[in-house]
Amino acid sequence: MKILVGIKRAVDYNVRVRVKSDGSGVETDGVKMSVNPFDEIALEEALRIKEAGKADEVIVVSIGNNDVQQQLRTGLAMGADRAIQVETGDTLQPLTVARVFKALAEREGAGIVLLGKQAIDDDCNQVGQMTAALWGRPQATFASKVVIDGTTATVTREVDGGLETLEVDLPAVITSDLRLNEPRFVKLPDIMKAKRKPLDVVPLDELGGHAGAAPATGRHAAPAPRSRGVMVGDTAALVAELKNRGLV
Amino acid sequence: MTNKILILAEHDGATLNPGTAKAVSCAAAITEHGGGTIDILVLGEGIDGVAAQAAAVAGVNAVLVTDAAHLAPPLAVNHGPELAAAAEGYSHVLAPSSTYGKDVLPHAAALLGVNALSDIMAVEGARAFKRPIYAGNAIVDVTVPDDVIVCGTSRSASWPTAAEGGAGAVQARAATSQRAAHTRYQGLAGAGGDRPDLQTARIVVSGGRALGSAENFEILYRLADGLGAAVGASRAAVDAGYVPNDMQVGQTGKIISPELYLAFGISGAIQHITGIKDAGTIVAVNKDADAPIFEIADIGLVGDLFTVVPEIEQQLS
Ligand SMILES: Cc1cc2nc3c(=O)[nH]c(=O)nc-3n(C[C@H](O)[C@H](O)[C@H](O)COP(=O)(O)OP(=O)(O)OC[C@H]3O[C@@H](n4cnc5c(N)ncnc54)[C@H](O)[C@@H]3O)c2cc1C
Ligand SMILES: Nc1ncnc2c1ncn2[C@@H]1O[C@H](COP(=O)(O)O)[C@@H](O)[C@H]1O
């Protein structure tokens, strides 16, 4: 079985993102870029499935310009067998990304498409759901546990009401939540080895190209600020303040 | 073009989730730009009670009820195709930005061949919206082209619950799809309990890594019960296993907007703050005077939560 893993290059989660003063976007010059944290978790899970003997090959996929090769190399260093860059210089909408994953899943005959539940830049939380819909295959989003048993997967999902469990036939789309696992650290020799692993570049048009009318993004603004309030000296003062404001 | 808006109801088979009435407020804001109607789609089995609740939301024109065995429990692979089929003829399709809405809406949008907007927080025009990106560190204006259905989730913390008193017409709508055989529901392990719901409670008491154990969370449950409050937690507290996942507040947990949020032993990481920015008043108790949470707290107290929590409880009783 092959597992396709989505790897999105995104601003590192430790960076405090700032809106550009002209409102045209967010500041990305000189900002640290990383693998979207949910995608690292997705890749870790794929590697564990392979290490348990339940998959033969883990393929990392990123859609973007040549910069994404950096994140694909990180994925290879973590242990993926090969990488595919779907090349485009354009800003992408989740529907286009989903079409790419569907096309690649069919081309590769993938058993699982493992994505992050959400990219921490656009915070869309859509690609997995859209891929499952277009592909007509099971959709197990927000996974905190995945058990592969032959031709099925049992997936525990983090939902508002608690933990939901689904049994799905493979092939299927699974998206990772934070508690699925703790990704491994990359070791230096692995980085060297990763340089020799295959990385194919495929043009976006070969896999369907852009999907439909995209929403246009306009001005970016900083959120309404919350400012520092008052500090109180002890519990009595805290309770008095709460009572004064009619909150308790 | 007048707006014709369809809202996907969220419910547990018996009760309409408040996120639905919040989505109605978002829809009402859309109708301020060119008028229009608001319908609600209820999918499930044995859902007349839910349909009646949906019809009673002020501003609702019609409630479409698709009652079919394969629509319970609410799986995206079954609800997505029904929502997409029901969407025909509508200008907008909305769902609450809960885990349910986020699971189903993008699925339906893909079947309709359109892009989707997550977490609509403001309406600027019938096709112009604001939504948060980068964990709420930026708010972006988004405009949807004229010739496509607007599909989006409404960010619950941004919208008030629409009032009751509506008299929508309840109409049966036949199912167009069948159960997806490739996906089987195995159950839901709900944390349950009778404490108020995190997303609708007026007061939320929340704890972080500093609590140190599941047992220690008891002091927060006691305080919360005295206040009639819900209990939340940081990711660190959930990861450590002190509390279940459905209590997590933040970028990847629940985004909440209570009148009063009391944070005990939470440092104030950006991902946590994202979840509480819309709270009326934020109170922080932390033993580190430099904790980032104090930068956004309305009332701050430097102190040990294990002393302060029992003191608050005592002074309020
Ligand atoms: C992609 C991603 C998504 C994330 N999503 C979320 C999310 O949705 N929600 C979330 O919360 N986090 C999220 N996080 C994690 C977040 O970055 C922080 O790690 C987490 O919020 C820290 O939790 P904490 O404040 O409880 O713990 P800590 O940061 O360890 O803080 C504990 C605090 O307790 C104080 N303290 C210790 N003892 C006491 C005492 N006795 N009395 C009073 N104060 C005391 C300390 O001074 C400290 O400030 C996410 C991270 C990533 C990478
Ligand atoms: N450009 C991309 N390249 C590779 N994977 C992507 C890309 N965009 C999104 N994904 C995958 O889809 C997931 C969800 O993204 P989103 O729906 O945009 O929040 C991410 O966690 C990735 O796994």
Complex-level ipTM: 0.95
Contact B293, B287 (CB under 8 A): no
* Ligand 1 neighbour B234 (Cβ under 6 A): yes
**Which tens digits make up the pLDDT trace of B77-131?**
999 999 999 999 999 999 999 999 999 999 999 999 999 999 999 999 999 999 9
Closest chain B residue to A231, measured at CA? B300
Same domain, B166 and B285: no
Query: What is the Cα–Cα distance from B70 to B174, expressed in whole angstroms?
Result: 12
Same domain, B279 and B221: yes
Q: Which residue of B17, B83, B133, B261 is the best one to mutate when testing the A interface, meaning the one whose CB has the most A CBs within 10 A?
A: B133
Number of domains in chain B: 2
| pLDDT score, position B192 | 63
Q: Which atom of ligand 2 is nearest to the CA of A64?
A: 1
Same domain, B160 and B269: no
* Ligand 1 neighbour B115 (Cβ under 6 A): no
Question: Are B137 and A222 within 8 A, CB to CB?
Answer: yes
pLDDT classification of B1: cutoffs 50, 70, 90? low
State the CATH number of the domain containing residue B111: 3.40.50.620
**Which tens digits make up the pLDDT trace of B33-51?**
999 999 999 999 999 999 9
Identify the CA nearest to B88 among candidates B28, B6, B17. B6
Domain end residue (candidates: B152, B172, B192):
B172
Query: What is the Cα–Cα distance from B228 to B196, expressed in whole angstroms?
Result: 7
Query: What is the Cα–Cα distance from A116 to A118, expressed in whole angstroms?
Result: 5
**Assigned token pair, B272:** 């946590």
In terms of DSSP bridges, do strands B36-44 and B3-8 run parallel, antiparallel, or are they unpaired?
Answer: parallel
Same domain, B12 and B78: yes
Q: Which residue of A125, A174, A239 is the best one to mutate when testing the B interface, meaning the one whose CB has the most B CBs within 10 A?
A: A125
Residue of the CA atom closest to atom 4 of ligand 2: A62
Contact A135, B80 (CB under 8 A): no
Contact A99, A69 (CB under 8 A): no
Q: State the pTM of this model.
A: 0.94
Residue of the CA atom closest to atom 37 of ligand 1: B210
| Per-residue burial over B108-137, b = 16 or more CB atoms within 10 Å of its CB, e = otherwise | bbbbbebbbbbbbbebeebbbbbbbbbbbb
Same domain, B15 and B59: yes
Closest chain A residue to B311, measured at CA? A235
Ligand nearest to the CA of A42: 2
Same domain, B11 and B145: yes
The overall average pLDDT reported for chain B is: 96
Same domain, B41 and B167: yes
* B194 domain-assigned: no
* Closest CB to B143 among A130, A215, A227: A215
Same domain, B162 and B224: no
State the CATH number of the domain containing residue B288: 3.40.50.1220
Residue range(s) defining the domain that contains residue B294? 203-316
* B189 domain-assigned: no
pLDDT in tens, chain A (248 residues): 999 999 999 999 999 899 999 999 999 999 999 999 999 999 999 999 999 999 999 999 999 999 999 999 999 999 999 999 999 998 899 999 999 999 999 999 999 999 999 999 999 999 999 999 999 999 999 999 999 999 999 999 999 989 999 999 999 999 999 999 999 999 999 999 999 999 999 999 999 877 777 888 889 999 888 889 999 999 999 999 999 999 99
**Which tens digits make up the pLDDT trace of B208-225?**
999 999 999 999 999 999
Residues of chain A with Cβ-Cβ distance to B316 below 8 Å are 239, 248
